[in-house]
Amino acid sequence: MTDNKRHIAIIGAGFAGLSAAWDLAKAGHKVSIFEASAEPGGLASGFKEPHWDWSVERFYHHWFQTDSHLLGLIEELGWSDQVLFPRPVSVMYHKGKYYPFDSIPAALAYPGLGFGLNKIRFGLVGVYLKLTKNWRSLEKTTTDAWMRKYAGNKVYESMWQPMMIGKFGENWHDKVSMAWMWARLHVRTTRLGTFKGGFQVFANKFAAKNEEAGVTIRFNTRVSSLKRLENGQIAVSLVDGEPESFDQALVTLSPGMMAKIAPDLPSEYLAGLLKLKSMGAVVMTVSIKHSLSPEGYYWYNIPKQAGYPFLSLVEHTNFLKPEYFGGDHILYIGDYLETDHPNFNKSDEELADEFLPHLKKINPDFNREWVNKIWVSKTPYAQPIPLPNHSANIPAIETPIPGLYFASMSQVYPWDRGTNFAVEIGRRAAKMMLLEKSADVV
C-alpha cells in the first residue's frame, strides 16, 4: 500500500462503519463498505409504512443529552437543528401499579423503595456513581455484590435487580461487572432524543453524505471471509462475487461473526472473541388504533416476576406524536434473551398470541381489534455481557493480522452499547488505521 491513498474495506454500514468511513474518506482514502442488508443503520435501522412520515426503529433506540460523540458528529454534519429532545414519562412497576420514575423527586416518591434509610441509601449511591470516575475499581466486583453492600438488599432488589434479570437473564444477572452499571448511571439522562424522521432517516442521510465524499456502499452484499495475502493486502471474499483486495479492512460486526469470517486470526485472539458473552433480543412492534396508556406513559419497566412475558413495553407515540405515523399509535414490546430461547423460533403470530393479552393489564379496554399490524425483529447480538475485570478481555481493535481491524459494541466497555459509542469506536478505529505505517508491497 502507499501512504498517499489506500483502498479500505469496511464490513457493516451501521453507525460505527459509517463513522469510520467518513473519517477515512475525509483523509483522502478510497473506502468501500459492504453491507449485507438493503439499508444502512445496522441495529438502529428502521422501517416505514406508506402513510407514515417517520420511520420506526426495529429495535427501539433513543439518544441521551450526554451522547457527545453522536451529537458532535451531527453538529459536524450541520444537522443539529434536526435533533429533537421531547420529555417522555417513564414508569416503574410496584405491586400491580406504575409510578413515574424520570426525576429525582419521582424516584424518591416511588413506594417500592419504602421509607427513610432506604431512600437515603438510594440517593447517596446515585450521587456517588454520578460523581466518581473511578470505574476500574468497580469492575473488580459484580453489580449484585456492590449494590447489596452499599445500597442494601431492599433498594437493590426493588430498583436494579429486576432490570439486571430482565437484561441478562437468570444465568448472568448476578455476574455482571459493577463498572457496567456505573457507566449507565454516570452518563445517562432522563431527557431522551431522536432525529427528525427517525433513525433510518439519519442513517440514510449519513450514508449519502459518505457517498458524496467518495465512499462506495454496496448493499445486499455479504462477506464470507477475510484473508491476508502474501503481498500484505486483505482479500475480501463475497458470498456472491469474486474476492477483492484492499490495503486495510475494518469489521464492525459481532465477535462471533468476526471469528467466522476471519478464521486465520491467531488462536489466542480467536479464543478471546469466542469467549465474549452476549444476549440476543426479540422486539415486537405493534401499530394500534388507540393509545394504550391513559396516562400518556412512554416507557414501562416491568420486572419478570410481575408475570409479563417481556421486559419492556414502550409506547413510542407517547414520545413522538402519532401524527408522524399517520395517526397510528406505535408500541414496542421487547425482551433480551439468550440465543437458545424458544422465542427466537416462534412465528410472529405465536409471539402475538403470547404477548398481546398482557396489554389488558395496562389498559383493560385493549383488545385485538385495536391492532393494525405487527412486526417482529430478532437479533442474536444485542447486549454484551461484561463480567468482572472485563477490561482485560476486550479484543484489540488492531488485530494481530496486519491491516485488519475490529470495532464492535463488545469493545466500548465500560460504556453500554448504543449509537453514541458506535460512533466513538468507529472513529477511534479509523484514527488507528490512519496511523498505521504502510507495509512494503511484496
**Do 254 and 120 belong together in one domain?**
no
Domain that holds residue 264: 7-83+196-276+389-435
**Do 290 and 377 belong together in one domain?**
yes
Q: How many helices (H) and strands (E) does the chain have?
A: 14, 20
**Do 350 and 305 belong together in one domain?**
yes
CA dihedral 313, 319, 322, 325 (to 10 degrees): -80
**Do 79 and 138 belong together in one domain?**
no
- What is the mean pLDDT of the segment spanning 369-398? 96
Instruction: For 21-49, write each residue's pLDDT tens digit.
Output: 999 999 999 999 999 999 999 999 999 99
**Do 200 and 71 belong together in one domain?**
yes
**Do 317 and 338 belong together in one domain?**
yes
**Do 408 and 265 belong together in one domain?**
yes
pTM of structure: 0.93
**Do 271 and 307 belong together in one domain?**
no
CATH label of the domain that carries residue 39: 3.50.50.60
**Do 380 and 236 belong together in one domain?**
no
The beta strands (E) that lie in 289-434 are given as 299-301, 312-315, 329-337, 371-385, 404-406
Report the distance separating Cα 211 and Cα 25, nearest Å: 9
Residue 94 banded pLDDT, cuts 50, 70, 90: confident
Residue 1 banded pLDDT, cuts 50, 70, 90: very low
Residue 388, CA atoms < 13 Å, CB-side half-sphere: 11
CB 169 within 8 A of CB 279: yes
Q: What are phi and psi of 109, to 5 degrees?
A: -85, -10
Cell of 278: 452476549
* pLDDT score at 128: 94
Calculate the average pLDDT of the chain. Answer: 93
**Do 257 and 321 belong together in one domain?**
no
- State the Rg of the chain over Cα: 22
Instruction: For 181-206, write each residue's pLDDT tens digit.
Output: 999 989 888 789 999 999 999 999 99
Instruction: For 48-60, write each residue's pLDDT tens digit.
Output: 999 999 999 999 9
Q: Which of 185-194, 268-277, 320-329, 371-380 has the lowest mean pLDDT?
A: 185-194
Question: What domain count does the chain have?
Answer: 3
Is 150 among the domain residues?
yes
